Amino acid sequence: MSNFQSMIQFSQKLSEKRISEVEKKFGAKTVNRIIAIALFLLGGNRKKISNFLDIPVGTLFSLLTRFHTKGVNVFIHPKKTNQTFQKKIPKHINKTQTYLDIIFGEQKKRIYIPLEKNKLIINTSNQIQFKTIILSFMNSGFLTIKETSEILQLSERHVCNLNKLLQQDDTISLIDKRKGQQKDYTVTEEIKAELIQQFSANVINGRSTSSKEITKQLNKACNCNISDRIVRLHISKLGLDKIKRTLPDLVAGIKKNSNNL
């Protein structure tokens, strides 16, 4: 197989014609996956393959990982795969649980999970653990790059870079090496309460509710050093962005009713 290029004659015209015909039947995405895996099996450099096919390196890594675990099923549309899988489930299978295969090199461990236990709880102070798990989900095909970037609140390009570093240098590459950012502070109930208070006060008084401004006020009030990123994350988690428009009207209505009494 190593000298296939010298033994097989290639035609650009035939290639374009054949690819076009197959794309009409199975779609461009499926054809891209087939070509990507074929080039990888023939010894192609992963980065150059991603450049050639114009797909992100992280997406290619995810595809190759799923190919190693799922085989040719990576070429099948997810909905069709699920339908096929459901038809083939034997009646004696326990329907109250599912399983997850964890593959580490040559090791493979199957974990059985009760259907009602569908939560993965991570301490808010364990940022590296959180990033590692989310990136692992992306590499296993559970999340797209876009979904991963939204969860981590990072650009898709940054996500790809982090994923590349994780593959090369393990979790140590995810540690923020900038001075002053060597430790993530735990967001206590007191800090959360002050965050809500500062945000609400700024909304009512027409002041800025940007995470940068709230962070400055919060750190001053609580004498702490919470990062802008953590504040932005908790503003989103607490749903505070959703009250920016409704809170002033609510307060105005309460004042009006109070004056009429």
**The model scores a pTM over 0.75:** no
pLDDT tens per residue across span 86-144:
445 455 455 677 777 777 777 777 878 777 777 778 887 788 888 888 888 888 888 88
Q: Classify residue 237: in a domain, yes or no.
A: yes
- 141/202 same-domain check: no
Q: Classify residue 242: in a domain, yes or no.
A: yes
β-pair type (97-104, 107-114): antiparallel
Q: Classify residue 37: in a domain, yes or no.
A: yes
Q: Which residue range is the domain that position 212 belongs to?
A: 189-260
Mean pLDDT for all residues in the chain: 79
Query: Residue 202 in contact with residue 196, Cβ under 8 Å?
Result: no
Q: Classify residue 72: in a domain, yes or no.
A: yes
Q: Classify residue 48: in a domain, yes or no.
A: yes
Distance of CA 42 to the CA centre of its chain: 30
pLDDT of 226 > 60? The answer is yes
Q: Classify residue 109: in a domain, yes or no.
A: no
Q: Classify residue 135: in a domain, yes or no.
A: yes
* Higher local confidence (pLDDT), 82 or 125: 125
- 20/84 same-domain check: yes
pLDDT tens per residue across span 145-187:
888 888 888 888 888 888 888 887 787 767 755 444 444 456 8
Give the DSSP letter of residue 243. G
**43 contact partners, CB below 8 Å, separation of at least 6:** 2
Q: Classify residue 68: in a domain, yes or no.
A: yes
- Give the pLDDT of residue 195: 92
Residue 219's alpha-carbon distances to 28, 48, 53, 215, in angstroms, are 51, 46, 47, 6
